[in-house]
Structure 1
């Protein structure tokens, strides 16, 4: 059986652990988590009955999969005392820390099989989208293991380069905030048109949920769904024309370009010696 170690027991690690225990059929006895926080360790142990450790070395002892779930800024310091053990044992490494490139992870761990993962915050509720990029040392079986480990958080998509992971960061990693911003704007506009805050909020959230559900379950793309709801001469057409007149598509493209560029910059900064 595969023993899995988590270095870091924060929100994203908790969501993956929850998916493994509830949906992945992984025995809690096979899951080891290290975290410096006593309360967090106790919470994980009580909630999932997993094995918890204060010492990272204790957590990775015997693990064939090690999931790195600490903040990017402290990753190097965390891995330095673990490198000898990791390079000797050569487990599959899965990093969910943003902004640390695959070559950097290989260097800091001394491992040949490394996967860089870019999840997003809806993963905490099982509706996430995670981009994955594997080193050449990752086997097909290890890719399948990675997919199974992350299945409880939502969908997974494999890409072919660190640059594509930066694009994933710009699209789905930062993407929830784009939708939240649009919802903020719709809620405020609804109130300006005379709706109460509660009514505007409920309608905005349900509309977002409904549109997402329709798009994910439809056999046609968002462009066709938009056309179907946009009647000639109607209210929706007038609204869409206003968006297009304000160059919404250009704004979205510029925003995502800026996010991808920043992801690359952060990767360069974090990977410096």
Structure 2
């Protein structure tokens, strides 16, 4: 597919559609003339961030103008997408909707399922994707380029892997936020002010994550090293592990995975 392909984003004013469109423009991957968006809102305010991009109110009109169609709507809105993509490349950003379901709804067998997370807004998303057998090598190259504009994009060997990563990486900041919430509550109980508690927790979580990334260290190795050091951190880690933090996380991921894969 040509690098001059026109990209149409259905749901261009949603959080992910907007993040992807803005990233493509900012990085010069597409020009404004190569981008067309639709959104549920019909107000001019809804399009204030897209002054030179083609804007349409009807999804069928978007499909007629685009070479690639991106579905960036809520899963429950899929049934209301009334288009015939005529075997154009379709990239679905929907959770809980299989490639087969997408193909049936939009009229194209060239379907890519991708699972972003909220870090796309800061271009730090992990963006796994899976392509149906009808997607060409050229299509895949284009998909990789488009999705990598928001962070790290990775093609997966099976749709089952994507269902799992919908539960794991698709959660975005949710799991770190849960840990941060628990740490904040404890810090406040110990008498720290909200300002200091929040600062300490956020710097600990963000700084620790960045250090792990930079060092390339396996998290398990880091935990073992700190436990073996037998300092104050070791006491905290041992207690958390004895209380079943690992099992609780596994059960949570299992529940999210079941929801993501449905009956598949």
CA contact (8 A) 1:130 1:154 kept: yes
2:20 maps to: 16
TM-score (norm 1): 0.89
SS of equivalent to 2:48? helix
> Any unmatched runs of 5+ in structure 1?
269-273
Mapping 1:62-77, distance limit 5 Å: 62-77=65-80
Write 1 or 2 for the structure with the bigger share of helix.
1
Instruction: Tell me the CA shift for residue 93 of structure 1.
Output: 0.3
SS of equivalent to 1:61? helix
Identify the match of residue 142 of structure 1 among 139, 143, 154.
Answer: 139
2:30 maps to: 26
1:271 maps to: none
Quote the Cα distance in structure 1 between the aligned partners of 2:190 and 2:75: 44
Question: Which ranges of 4 or more aligned residues in structure 1 deviate by more than 3 Å?
Answer: 227-231
Q: Aligned-residue CA RMSD in angstroms?
A: 1.7
1:254 maps to: 251
> What does the per-residue CA deviation read over 1:119-165, in whole Å, with 9 as the maximum and x for residues that have no partner?
11111221111221110011122111111111221111222333212
CA contact (8 A) 2:29 2:146 kept: no
> What does the per-residue CA deviation read over 1:156-201, in whole Å, with 9 as the maximum and x for residues that have no partner?
1222333212210111112521110100011111122221110010
Instruction: Tell me the CA shift for residue 232 of structure 1.
Output: 2.8
CA contact (8 A) 2:71 2:91 kept: yes
1:186 maps to: 183
Quote the Cα distance in structure 2 between the aligned partners of 1:13 and 1:121: 11
1:171 to 2:168 alignment: yes
CA contact (8 A) 1:118 1:169 kept: yes
Instruction: Tell me the CA shift for residue 41 of structure 1.
Output: 4.1
Quote the Cα distance in structure 2 between the aligned partners of 1:126 and 1:175: 12
TM-score (norm 2): 0.92
2:48 maps to: 43
